[in-house]
Amino acid sequence: MLDIHRLREDPQGIEQQLRTREPAIDLGEIVKLDKRRLELIREVEALKAERNEGSQMVGQYKKEGKDTSQLLSSLAAVSARIDSLDDELRETAARIDRLLVVLPNLPHHSVPVGVKEEKVILRTAGERPNPDFTVKHHLEVGEEKGILDFRRAAMIAGTRFPMYVGLGARLEMALIQFMFFHHAANGYTPVFPPFLANAESFYVSSQLPKFADDLYLIEKDNLYLNPTAESLLANLHRGEILNAEDLPKDYVAYTPCFRREAGTYGEEERGLIRVHQFNKVEMFKFAAADTSYEELDRLIADAEGVLQVLGIHYRVALLPTEDLAQQAAKTVDIEVYLPGQGRYYEVSSCSNCEDFQARRGKIRYRPGPGEKPLHVHTLNGSGLATTRLMAAILENNQTADGRVQIPQVLQEMVGAEFL
């Protein structure tokens, strides 16, 4: 959530920045309501001072034996006015919050202004594969080898739910374990969180209220299925004041993820590209405000490290303003190339949300002894999601004789060198 004090100081500048993300944003109503709220606060404070002074006079009148009826009547009117203004103040504050909560974060100054197609490619790693044979789509490979079974998955759950079988299931589990322990070895504290969370948790992470339609809700229990472990990890220190010397706090978690992914799907998104359920290893950081962008660089490097060990070509892209998630101030995507489709797909988004989530979750740190607490900066990054990573392995590691080589680091866990 945006800082109302910052908005109050420069409403036009803030509005201009936000319009690079959503051109229709208009802060006029918030500014008007905030002005009224300040007026109400001043009036209530003045009336309370008047009431306190009057109460003291009542005591003095009684000591002097004077009639207090007129004074008491006047104080009753003041109290009634205070109650009325307090009600208006609460409603005004609530209306401001309802408007603030759907606004996106302010983009960092390094984020290019533009639409989704205008992302900036920062670098590539390795040579893009160019085999001298026709590379098959990962879905075709998976079905031929009996390691992917979307037909039976659809019978069990519906469309867009994957099912891994045999060596496919072993490879999926190997990917999860490799990435989870890889990040743990790099200093991230392992977390195995609940896969369900309450509405407050999703409010803090910023999925609610704006993106409620994208979530799976278990209405009987009023709990939501996890769309990404970011939603859970963002709440680990909710309501706490951390010590500066304990920052950054780095966590890694594995969770299955569930997303409605409403809308239509093109031919290029069949198979494992866009599904309702997938597995993901997630990295999350709580950092001091003055070092959070250094931590973002480390987060990106840690995500890249997984692909480097797996030996998969990738590129790194800086997202433009209109492609940022609501909570993100800056996002860098890591994309793998799928030769079976001749295009790149994102396997990791690494974001600095600055204090956007921390304000919602009241997560702060004390820079030094006796100093005023500041909101932490939160950062998240996929480390990585397995579905598109599985697709990348199945398409990039094909051989001319129709086999798929398993990355060396996974071979022992899978129990095979080739699929």
Instruction: Name the 3-class secondary structure at 184.
Output: helix
* Residue ranges in 101-166 assigned as alpha helix (H): 138-144, 150-156
Residue 259 annotated in active site: yes
Q: Which one of the listed residues 351, 364, 388, 395 is annotated catalytic? A: 388
CATH code of the domain occupying 4-100: 1.10.287.40
CATH number (3.30.930.10, 3.40.50.620, 3.40.50.720, 3.40.50.10240) of 116-414 reads 3.30.930.10
pLDDT tens string, the chain, 419 residues long: the values are: 899 999 999 999 999 999 999 999 999 999 999 999 999 999 999 999 999 999 999 888 888 888 888 999 999 999 999 999 999 999 999 999 999 999 999 999 999 999 988 999 999 998 898 899 999 999 999 999 999 999 999 999 999 999 999 999 999 999 999 999 999 999 999 999 999 999 999 999 999 999 999 999 999 999 999 999 999 999 999 999 999 999 999 999 999 999 987 555 666 678 999 999 999 999 999 999 999 999 999 999 999 999 999 999 999 999 999 999 999 999 999 999 999 999 999 999 999 999 999 999 999 999 988 899 999 999 999 999 999 999 999 999 999 999 999 999 999 999 999 99
Q: What residues contact residue 307 under an 8 Å CB cut-off, 6+ apart?
A: 125, 314, 334, 336, 347, 384
- Return the closest-CA partner of residue 387 out of 336, 351, 341: 336
Domains 4-100 and 116-414 in one fold: no
Active site residue 388: yes
Task: Produce one character per residue of 205-215: b if its CB has 16 or more CB atoms within 10 Å, e if not.
Answer: bbbbeebeeeb
Domain boundaries, the chain: 4-100, 116-414
201 an active-site residue?
Answer: no
Q: Which of 160, 259, 359, 360 is catalytic?
A: 259
Catalytic residue among 21, 170, 274, 359: 274
Sequence-distant (6+) residues with CB within 8 A of 74 are 54
346 part of the active site: yes
Choice among 50, 268, 269, 346 that is catalytic: 346
The answer to whether 366 is a known catalytic residue is no
Helix (H) or strand (E) holding 284: strand 277-287
